[in-house]
Structures are given as structure tokens and as C-alpha cells.
Structure 1
Amino acid sequence: MGLVAIGTLLTLTGCDLPQVSAEERLFLPLQIELLDVATLPAQTFADTPVGGLSALTYDRQRDVFYALSDDRGRLAPPRFYTLAMATDFSTPESPKIADIAVQAITTLKDQAGNEYPSDRLDPEGMVLSPRQTVFISSEGVPATQTPPTLNEYDLATGQLKTEFRLPARFLPTVPTEEEPEPAAQGIRDNLGFEALTLGPTSSAGAFEPFRLFMATESALAQDFDPDPANPLTNRFLHYLIGPQQSTFISEYAYPLSLEPLGTVVNGLTELVAIDQGGHFLALERVLGIRGFVIKLFQLATGGATDISTLPALPSSDNINPIQKQLLLDFTTLEVPVAAIDNLEGMTLGPPLPDGSASLWLISDNNFSDDQSTQVWLFRLAIG
């Protein structure tokens, strides 16, 4: 079933209605299959190191991908790359990645057209919009007291078009003379806005509204629970982006999986919207004593409590969080666990020959000689 059909469910009536569990009614019957894994060789392009690729988005019109580097401007100005990723369909039932090539680079610029200086952006999430722009989230840079941002940039020039206002609860507290040790609030260091996606936009034109969803990698400072026996709660934001005005719609609690013993980093790294009914894919990544542990979940947001009026989350159980269902634990794949790298970017790509959707993931090599930039190709189908 094709990409558009991902969000289409059969309507059954009368005696044809099957007996299904509550969970089956809540989630889509998704199936996922690993097709191939390839590596983008270490290289430079336009005098910049190609690496730190933390987000991936697909351009259907041009049949290319855009990959965002999370370089804070320390090795080169903040930027994203255009990638051509050819697929070998010689065996239609088992497509492979034939080639990955860097075609172009786009440098991000402020509204005056100037490149950002070092440590002003920490770009982590990116998604292509139907109005020839890219939305990019920055985690912020505490060292320079630069707050997190959600920005919209021109696709062709990389110039800033819009900087969206974030609710105050996401902004880190800054010490002042009057309050040298303020109460902890907002994004925690390197755990800010990592995941970003758009609702399906197949029929949306440049002048029609569309939905944008963004989530934190981990809990805000005021929501943080220091007890390692308790899972943390992220925040999941919903915007309606219009041609003249954009609106913050709602916010939900995202239950992050409990981090295993020996964890160094644990967080939600990417989202992909798969229909207009509130279903998403969520990519979670753990780095610990066993290396990288990657899990892919299906989300159902219907019935989740709007927490946008809560500056801090209560410890009571009167909040309905987003519901999660494990779709894939990467340790079950027929690849060595040591071969799984720091997967952070994810996007739906072009349809496969059988009409199912292609799902592409990319890893952030942290500009390390000990890591690589991996590209993973999956088949995603419903039924």
C-alpha cells in the first residue's frame, strides 16, 4: 500500500466488522522491513566537513533529500546538504541503496542575509514545507545564553524568513544580579528540540495552512524527575502554520522510555507524521554501555491531554499521555549490534515498486573518526 494509503483505513460495517482489541483500534497495523544499510564516505564538500547529520527530509518535486548538519558553526557555518540517494530496483521485492552523493550545500543566514557566527545555532530538526521553505529547530547554546528556536528558512537561499515565538516554559532561566540562582526551567543542555515533522501535505499548496509538530529530546528542567527508576516525560507541540498567521494549537506529554542502567544519553530524536488521524513514528536513541540502542515506536495522539497550560508537569496521574506501541527494536535485526550507529534523522521517501512507502534514516557521526554516517532504508506498509 502506497505512501498516501498509509493514512487510509478500510471502513467495515455490519457483520463484516472484525473483533479487535482496544490497542488494535488505537494504532494502525503497520509493518516494517529493513531493506538495506549504506555508508556515506567521510568527505568534505565546498570546504566543509560533511557530518553531524541529525535530520533528514525528502523533496518529492526534485527527488532529493536534505540533510541538516548539527555543527554549531565551529567547523563551518550552520548548513544543510542536498543528497541524491539512488535506489537499485533490479530486484523489485528487495530494493537496495545504489548510491549516495552530496550535490549541494545551503548555508543558513539571518534575516539580514548574514551567516550565523559560531555558537548561535544548534540545529537539530528540519522538515521541508509546501511553500519552498525548511523549518529548522535549534536546541539553543547555553554557553552563549542563546535560547532554543523554531525558524523558517528559504529553501533556495537559506535566509531566515520567520522566527516563531516559543512558550516561556521552554526558555532556560538565565542568572541575573537580582536572582543569581534562579529555579531551573526550560530546555536542558543538548536535550532540546530534536524532533520535527509536518502533517501530510499532499493536497496543500503554498497558500494553504499545514500542521507542524515538534518535540523535546528529553524532559524540561521543571519536569525532570531525578529518580532513575521513573521514566521521563517530554513535551510534544502542535502548530497550525498559515500563510498570514501561525497558531500554537496544543501540547501533549510524551512518555520517554525508561533508560537502562549505564545510560549516557537517552532521548527522542525524530518524528514522522504518517496520517491525518494523529499517528506518528517516533525514533528513540540510547547511548550506554552496550553502545547505541535504537527503537522505533508508533504513536497515537488521540485522547492525549492538552498540557499547554501547565508550566510544570504534576506528579499525579490525571494526565493522559501520548500512547506508544513498539514497532521495531533494532537489536532484533540481522545486523551486529555494534554496527548500529547514532541514528537521529528520519523521513518518508519515494514509494517503492510494490506501492509501499520507503522510510529512510540517517546517523549523526558527531564528526568522530570512530563513527560513520549511515543511511538505512526500510519498507513501511499497512495491513
Structure 2
Amino acid sequence: MTAKQQLLPAFSSLKYINTYVLPHNLQYKGTTVGGLSAIDFDPESKLYYMISDDRSTINPARFYTAKITLSASGISKVKINGVKTLYQKDGSTYPKLTVRATRTTDPEAMRFNGVTKQLIWTSEGERILKNADTTLIDPTINIISTQGKYVDSIPLPDNLRMHTIESGPRRNGVLEGLTFADDFKSLYVNLEEPLYQDGPRAEFVRNKAFIRIYKFDLKTKLNTAQYAYELEPVAVRPVKEGGEYNNGIPDILWLGNNRMLITERSYSAGHDGANIKVFLADLQDATNVIQTKSLKDNPASHPVKKKLLLNMDDLGIYIDNIEGATLGPVLPNGHQTVIFVADNNFYKREQSQFMLFEVIP
């Protein structure tokens, strides 16, 4: 029997239920739990898969499994019950980032394939241009077993290659989210920020900051489509002039019928937490820009349509660095849930949050 993806009918909003926070620096089997950058739920095993973005600095690159218990008040417990190392093709672990590194990884997204019972995950690669250190490592899309062993990889289109010139991906703005679609026949992967040739990063006013969403055929492993999606402006200015700021997409989630749940995360230095907006996106009439070299010179005639579902600022609570989203279990009232996870960056002042929402038809 072929596994089927959970598909959602049209819905109007997301209702906040509660937030559960893992203890800071939680230890599990000799590893520090943190940097949780993705979450995916397997409804058959009831397991949640979560990748850590630790670049083999604290412990070897890895992912966790967990059980999440719901009660009448929401998430009552998150219990880590497994950790697996991510292995390279040659069977070795990933080295930590060093000067002029040639092999390292920056784990960001992970999903479980209900058909093959394998996992797929992305690395953002690296782009460092300094006098003492020029490091170019291309991003990757990796297929592994649930034990972390390398199985295969998906070839990337040329516009995802790192360069010393301002062409291709920006550093730390690459393959941030992914989602299976079409009953695990297709894979969508998104950039966090625009390619250099596609235009500027998001600013404080709308400025045609377009990222690309890539579609892959999992049978042929070919990139069959690319779609343009316009980012919102950065939510607030940094507290100090010249402070860091950005807005990008940490994750995408397939809902069926060409629709996705897309999370945008805005950060500005000096402010606590992040500004998170969740959109319902529709790819139905979006232009395939796979042959378009530059969205700045030749913008998409029809970018991905988007509708704001939720601005987490409206919840009036502390929201941290949300990086992953998954469809969770169905509630007793028959409504679907969505669970978001936050990356605490292994900082004591940040939190590994698990946020539970109810899908309102």
C-alpha cells in the first residue's frame, strides 16, 4: 500500500494552543540537544524527526527523534528518544568548519519519506571570502537512512553553486526548507534569501526581494521547475544603526492542491526573538522561471500568490528563532494541528520552543 501524505482542505486561520520549551543544554546520549532547525512528523510511527544545525562544533552533525504528547491544554511533553549521526558518502562523520575548509556541512531542513522510509536533508554549504580564508562549499540535498547512513543525493541546478563573485547563493541564505509533495513523488526546496543575480535582500520597505522555490522530480532527480516568491519587508529596524537585520523563509510545508504553508522569519539586532509570519501560498498559476537567469532583469510575470494567515506578533508572547514546521496529529475535534520548532542557537537566552496550533477550517 502506497503511503499518502496528509492533505488539508481550505482553512481560514491558525489558532494558537500552547508552547513547550526544552531545557537549555539538555543532554541526551552524550550530545547537547539544541539548534533544532527542522521538524517532521511520521503519523505511522508517531515519531518526530528534528535536525540540529550544529556544524560538528559541539558534537558530530546529527538529528534527533522525539515523541510529543498532547493533552487537553496542548503539548504536555517532548521526550527525545533517539539521536543519529549524519554520515558522509565515504562513511565518515562531517568535520567542523575550519579555515579554508573543503568539507563541512550546515544542516538546515529534514523530512521523512513515508514511501521509502528514508530521510532527506539539506546543507546550506559555505561561502567565506576573506584574505586568510576563501571557502566555497556548495549546498547539498542528501538522502539517508533513518540510521543516518548516506544513501544518495540530488543534483543541484547551476544557479545553486557558490562563487567568489556575486552570483549564486548568499552565505547562510540557501536551502533552508523543504517539503515532499504529490504523495512523495515531488520535492520542493526553498532558498532563504534571494540569489545575488535575482536582486536585493529584503529591506524595511517592499523591494522585490524574490527567492526561488525549486521543484524536483524524485524519480528522475531532475529540477523541473523554479518559482519566484516575494519576501515581506523586514519587520523592525535594528536598535542600533548599522545593526544586522534580515527576512527570509526558514521552512515550507505542503498542504496539497498546489498550496503550501510558508513561514517568513524577520530578525533585527537588539530585539528579543524574531518576527514570524505564516502565509498560505498557492503555486497553481505561478510562472516557471527555471530558464530565467535573473529575476532582477526579467521578473516573473506571475510569482507565487500568498495570503497572510498568522502574524505571531499578535499572540503577545515571546517568539524565538522559528525554523521548522510540520503537520502534527489530529485533535479530538477532528481538526489538524501544525507544530513549529525554534532553533535556540545553543544560546542560554534563546529557547528550543515547540509551538502548537490548531487549523481552523
Q: 1:249 aligns with which of 202, 214, 224?
A: 224
Q: 2:108 aligns with which of 124, 133, 144?
A: 124
Q: 2:325 aligns with which of 339, 346, 354?
A: 346
1:1-383 alignment, distance < 5 Å: 4=6, 6-7=8-9, 28-42=10-24, 43-89=26-72, 95-119=73-97, 120-130=104-114, 131-143=116-128, 144-155=135-146, 157-174=147-164, 183-199=165-181, 201=183, 210-225=185-200, 228=203, 229=205, 230-242=207-219, 245-262=220-237, 264-275=245-256, 277-288=257-268, 289-291=270-272, 292-316=274-298, 319-333=301-315, 335-336=316-317, 339-382=318-361
Q: Could you tell me how far apart the structure 2 residues matched to 1:107 and 1:4 are?
A: 28
Residues 145/248 of structure 1: CA separation in 2 closer, same or farther (3 Å cut): same
Residues 317/80 of structure 1: CA separation in 2 closer, same or farther (3 Å cut): closer
> Does the 8 A contact of 1:125 with 1:137 survive in 2?
yes
Q: Could you tell me how far apart the structure 2 residues matched to 1:313 and 1:227 are?
A: 14
> Does the 8 A contact of 2:322 with 2:341 survive in 1?
yes
Q: Counterpart in 2 of 1:16?
A: none
Q: Which digits, 9 at most, give the CA deviation of each residue in 1:231-280, with x for residues without a partner?
A: 411000111212xx3222201001111224525121101111011x1100
Q: Secondary structure at the match of 2:169?
A: coil
Q: What amino acid is the match of 1:273?
A: W
Q: Secondary structure at the match of 1:350?
A: strand
Aligned residues: 333
Residues 248/318 of structure 1: CA separation in 2 closer, same or farther (3 Å cut): closer
Higher helix fraction (1 or 2): 1
Q: Secondary structure at the match of 2:137?
A: coil
Q: Could you tell me how far apart the structure 2 residues matched to 1:5 and 1:64 are?
A: 19
Q: Could you tell me how far apart the structure 2 residues matched to 1:297 and 1:74 are?
A: 34
> Does the 8 A contact of 2:235 with 2:275 survive in 1?
no
> Does the 8 A contact of 2:201 with 2:246 survive in 1?
no
Q: Could you tell me how far apart the structure 1 residues matched to 2:359 and 2:300 are?
A: 35
Task: Give, in angstroms, the shift of residue 142 of structure 1.
Answer: 2.2
Task: Give, in angstroms, the shift of residue 290 of structure 1.
Answer: 4.1
Q: Could you tell me how far apart the structure 2 residues matched to 1:167 and 1:4 are?
A: 29
Q: Secondary structure at the match of 1:6?
A: coil
Q: Could you tell me how far apart the structure 1 residues matched to 2:95 and 2:259 are?
A: 38
Q: Secondary structure at the match of 1:112?
A: coil
Q: Which digits, 9 at most, give the CA deviation of each residue in 1:189-239, with x for residues without a partner?
A: 1111101111153xxxxxxx6111110001011113268441411000111
Q: What amino acid is the match of 1:103?
A: N
Q: Could you tell me how far apart the structure 1 residues matched to 2:360 and 2:223 are?
A: 31
Report which of the two structures shows the higher radius of gyration computed on alpha carbons. Answer: 1
Q: Counterpart in 2 of 1:13?
A: none
Task: Give, in angstroms, the shift of residue 345 of structure 1.
Answer: 0.8
RMSD across aligned C-alpha pairs, in angstroms? 1.8
Identity of aligned residues (%): 28
> Does the 8 A contact of 1:172 with 1:184 survive in 2?
no
Q: Could you tell me how far apart the structure 1 residues matched to 2:283 and 2:161 are?
A: 25
Q: Secondary structure at the match of 1:55?
A: coil
Residues 97/200 of structure 1: CA separation in 2 closer, same or farther (3 Å cut): farther
Q: Could you tell me how far apart the structure 1 residues matched to 2:324 and 2:139 are?
A: 19
Q: Which digits, 9 at most, give the CA deviation of each residue in 1:37-96, with x for residues without a partner?
A: 11011211121110000100011121010111011111111110011111114xxxxx41
Q: Secondary structure at the match of 1:298?
A: strand
Unpaired runs of at least 5, structure 2: 98-103, 129-134, 239-244
Task: Give, in angstroms, the shift of residue 317 of structure 1.
Answer: 5.1
